[in-house]
Amino acid sequence: MRRTRKARRGRLISAALAVVVAGAGFGLYWFQPWKLWQNETVKEALPGTVQTSGTPRAKPSVTVSPAPGPQTVASGELVSHEHATSGTVKLIRLADGSHVVRLENLDTSNGPDLRVWLTDAPVKEGQAGWHVFDDGEHVSLGRLKGNRGSQNYPVPDGVEPSRYSSVSIWCDRFDVSFGAAELVGS
């Protein structure tokens, strides 16, 4: 009788331990807390611009008019939501007529499943703005490349940028905005 109780107790302890280990593993996968201490810096040049370095070359004898370069259509400053976030967002029309959302001097926390969203939602400060961006229309421009630096996100063909009024750094895993910027025309 005593052995039976000990065997049952041992099985219960083993089962409870297995549940705790599985729960901890799932929690670590879901929250990915180590990302809070990992920073990824991205330094992309604006598409359609030429980076120069070194010594200047001799000027050509023929005058060539420069091709129209990228033009900022709208811009805004990021405001913090769930996590402290700062930087500038620009909607830029490239010479070929396509559009790019550019994040400049971005500084936010890293997190699981972060996306850059072009949305039609108004930007609200504080907790009031944490969950509004998935209520209306939005277009995911892709995963956030890094939580710091300057980076570009092409607007997909067929998407009319003028229909959208803001950009959000969106955590798809927890349906919350890390930060957002209202796009104001230039």
- pLDDT digits 0-9 by tens, 41-50: 999 999 876 5
For residues 61 and 29, give the distance between their C-alpha atoms in angstroms, rounded to a whole number: 62
pLDDT at 61 over 70: no
pLDDT band of 153, cuts 50, 70, 90: very high
Strand, coil or helix: 118: strand
What Å distances lie between residue 51 and 48, 54, 111, 115, 182, CA to CA?
10, 10, 31, 28, 29
- Mean residue pLDDT across the chain: 84
Strand, coil or helix: 159: coil
What's the pLDDT at 37? 60
**Tens-place pLDDT, residues 16-57:** 666 666 665 555 554 566 555 688 999 999 987 655 454 444
88 CB-near residues (< 8 Å, 6+ apart): 75, 76, 77, 78, 103, 104, 105, 181
Q: Which residue has the higher pLDDT, 23 or 58?
A: 23
